[in-house]
Amino acid sequence: MSIFPIRSDEDHRRALDRIHGLMDAEEGTPEGAELEALATLVEAYERKKYPPCPPTPLDAIIFRMEQMGYTQADLARLLKSRSRASELLRGSMKHLSLNMIRKLHDNWNIPAEVLIRDIKPRAKAREHA
């Protein structure tokens, strides 16, 4: 078994190469245990090095619409404004109003902590994504 800490990109590459060589290892064997351990270490390294960016409010709204089969008309009904729904989906709003956040959270179960962020990420935040 060749388990080692993953502290650098070189360690990460070596671990991925080893994982590739162990892909056919059977569960319950030493090779299967090594594969499982290395996969866990790689996952932890990648989560630390490349943390996921939280979605923008617009991303979350569009995702929920796709997930639930909602249309722009459904959004307009919820917000009680066709123009607001259109502005929102075009991305021309900077942020949602408190009333919009409440409606989207209460009716579509979109987490409020996602909805309170700016609609468009700042340029600096996008550079790191």
pLDDT above 60 for 123 = no
The span from the CA of 81 to the CA of 97, in Å, is 13
The tokens describing 47, both together, are: 């989560």
Q: How far is CA 74 from the centre of its chain?
A: 24
Q: Quick one: average pLDDT of 75-89?
A: 96
Q: Read off the pLDDT band of 121 (50, 70, 90).
A: low
Q: Read off the pLDDT band of 112 (50, 70, 90).
A: very high
Contact 39, 71 (CB under 8 A): no
Burial of 75 (0-12, 13-18, 19+ CB in 10 A): buried
